[in-house]
Amino acid sequence: MEAIAIKELSKLYPTRDGSVHALEQISFSVSEGEFVAVIGPSGCGKSTLLKVLAGILRPSKGEARLRGTPITGPRRDIGVVFQSPVLLPWRSVLDNVLLPIDVQRLGRDRHLKLAMDLLSLVGLEGFERRYPWELSGGMQQRVAITRALIHDPAMLLMDEPFGALDAMTREQMNLELQRVWLERKKTVLFITHSIAEAVFLADRVLVLTPRPGRLMEDVQVKIPRPRALETMNFPEFGAYVHSIRARFNAKGVIDA
């Protein structure tokens, strides 16, 4: 069953000197429970694509659908995790996680156990009463992931969520995210600049061209799960990374 369906989607931004073409004629679908990564050079429209799926931006042409319904604005059945955790400093970890429940008036009491279970799942049991300033960057991002899952969204959108973390913390967060995904099997669209991160996490890697972003390649990653960090040393893993990197030339620079 298709969770996400993108059909001939284009996005133009009007400017004083004309229009900036961010995305052009992109079409793809994502199945229920699938983990799909999107990579491409800076400015290729990755974040624009995510904002369209989140209902923050309207496409100039084409359409985006979630479970068969057009995405025409922000929806309650979509969870979003940004590069910055965006936690409210005056709210505890638990209260930050329950923020969508409070805003949508879904009943805090009914979701309290789920919040505690999710915090335990991401390794934050015992930190419920702490405040964001008492947590490391990686721990804060775990809170953000938990908050995005608390209202049981149909789709989880992640915009370079580990881009601001140091290399070792980022690797550990990749392991944590894989573990949470294997447990919850949410449909995930994950934006990243890192080819290695995309190959490690995803079932499929969508490769975009330099602006205007077009779908250059849809790579199926057939490495068995769960994947350990040692997987990155395997020849099969290296072959995927090399193949994707080879798609880019001097017009599009992408991180390893």
CA 19/CA 171 separation, integer angstroms? 39
Task: Report the share of the chain in percent with pLDDT over 70.
Answer: 97
Domains of the chain: 2-77+154-245 (3.40.50.300), 87-152 (no CATH)
| Mean pLDDT over the full length of the chain | 89
Give the strand order in the sheet containing 69-70. 18-31, 2-15, 61-66, 69-70
User: 3-state class of 182 per DSSP?
Assistant: helix
The tokens describing 170, both together, are 């980022």
**Is residue 204 exposed (0-12), middle (13-18) or buried (19+ Cβ within 10 Å)?**
middle
pTM metric for this prediction: 0.89
Positions of the chain with pLDDT under 70: 249-256
pLDDT digits (tens, 9 = 90+) for 79-111: 999 888 889 999 999 999 999 888 888 888 888
